[in-house]
Amino acid sequence: MASDITSGLDDTQVKLLAEECLLVDEKDVVIGSASKKDCHLMTNIKNGMLHRAFSVFLFNSNNELLLQQRADAKITFPGYWANTCCSHPLNVPGETEEEGAIGIKKAAQRKLKHELGIEPEQVPLEDFHYITRIHYQAPCDNPIWGEHEIDYVLFIKKDVTVDPQPNEVQNYVYYSPGQIKSLLKKAEVDEEKVSPWFSLIAENLLDGWWKSLDDLEGIKRHDKIVKL
């Protein structure tokens, strides 16, 4: 069955399915680990499997948000536009640390380098701001795969050098709030594809956060998980 599920998929992306993600309950308490593949199978999601994730929102000095278009090689949501970087802390030393969401920030730094070629020195751990957590679920176009995550939202404001990994990212842009709204409208009529987690955040929360880029402490909510 496993070989049938991954048949015809990109070899590099299939290898990444072996990574061990952190399983959590609905209160974001770690209850174990499972492979990235198992975490994203809709059969497991329908049975309640939930894992920890993060979404990075990187803004430049003009307060524009860096978006990426996911590579067509990606297994989940290929070709979709999303926020700067979306991935998972792994069940490895350092990324399971919870104090100050430091494990999440280390994972974010790792994936910004892997996906977008952004050097860790350009995105120091201390410059990431943990805003809140989002709980969402979404199936992929291919009904075998899906997402069910408690997603840590991280903001960082930095001017960085972007050098995308083609197997991960096919395009990137810096957008203003107005351009984000235009992108979402195009997605509504199938002129563009936008990932479900980014759509949910952009439609429900992003505007207010964007206006508070110079006062992020005022929008942080660590005591509550927002269900979207």
Total length of the chain:
228
Say how many C-beta atoms besides its own lie within 10 A of residue 39's C-beta.
26
- From CA 17, how far away is CA 75, in angstroms rounded? 9
HSE toward the beta carbon, residue 108, CA cutoff 13 A? 31
- From CA 71, how far away is CA 170, in angstroms rounded? 5
Nearest Cα to Cα of residue 198 among 4, 64, 54: 54
- From CA 172, how far away is CA 110, in angstroms rounded? 18
Diameter of the chain by CA atoms? 51
- Give the single-character DSSP code of 71: P
- Give the single-character DSSP code of 55: E
User: Which residues are marked as active site?
Assistant: 86, 149
- From CA 202, how far away is CA 134, in angstroms rounded? 12
137 contacts 170 by C-beta, under 8 angstroms: no
